Amino acid sequence: MNLLRTHGGWTGRHKPRQTVNPVMPDVNVTPLIDVVLVLLIIFMVVTPMLARGVAVDLPRTRFHEKKADTGEQIIVAIRADGKVFLDKQVFDATSLDRFSAALGEILRRSPGREVFVKGDYRIKYKTAREVLEAIHRAGAAGAGLGTDEEK
């Protein structure tokens, strides 16, 4: 007896044709590469804008000179509570001699570096003056004072 299947295209004597191709998994990495490149560009643009040193609320001024942070300046930050930061070292009002010695050592290792002072707008003038005198005793030629632009 012959079994015929007219619309399937096979008889009992033949194997059925495989009309479905097996699906091969394929990952398209092009969108992933696009996203990574966009993130890389964003990080390259934003990284130079990140502020170095301890975050303080700087005084606001209407007119001030904008100077780019090259990474070569020595950043000294004075917080509102009177703590003085030199890189990752913390000093207080009673240890300004140690601060001056530490800054002097940095200046001796790399002479000619600029000192940039970021002082919180709430500090007392006495604190700012004492820190500036300690910077002078350390041998710095001068110190720049940081401000934010008044909007």
In a domain, 42, yes or no: no
Instruction: Provide the residue range defining the domain that includes 102.
Output: 52-149
Asked whether the predicted pLDDT for residue 108 surpasses 70, the reply is yes
Does residue 129 carry a pLDDT above 80?
Answer: yes
Enumerate residues 6+ apart whose C-beta is below 8 A from 79.
54, 56, 85, 120, 123
* Within-domain flag for 3: no
Domain count, the chain: 1
Asked if residue 13 belongs to a domain, the reply is no
Burial class (CB in 10 A: 0-12, 13-18, 19+), 55: exposed
Tell me if 30 is assigned to some domain.
no
CATH number of the structural domain spanning residue 95: 3.30.420.270
Q: Does the CA dihedral 33-36-42-48 come out positive or negative? A: negative
Q: Report yes or no on 18 lying in a domain.
A: no
Is residue 85 predicted with pLDDT exceeding 70? yes
The reply to whether 10 falls in a domain is no
Q: Which of the residue ranges 46-55, 57-66, 99-108 has the most confident prediction, judged by mean pLDDT?
A: 99-108
Residue 64's pLDDT is 74
pLDDT tens-digit readout, 3-60? 555 555 555 565 556 566 677 778 888 888 999 999 999 988 877 666 667 778 888 8
Q: Is residue 102 part of a domain?
A: yes
- Cβ distance 96 to 131 under 8 Å? yes
Q: Provide φ and ψ at 3, rounded to 5°.
A: -95, 120
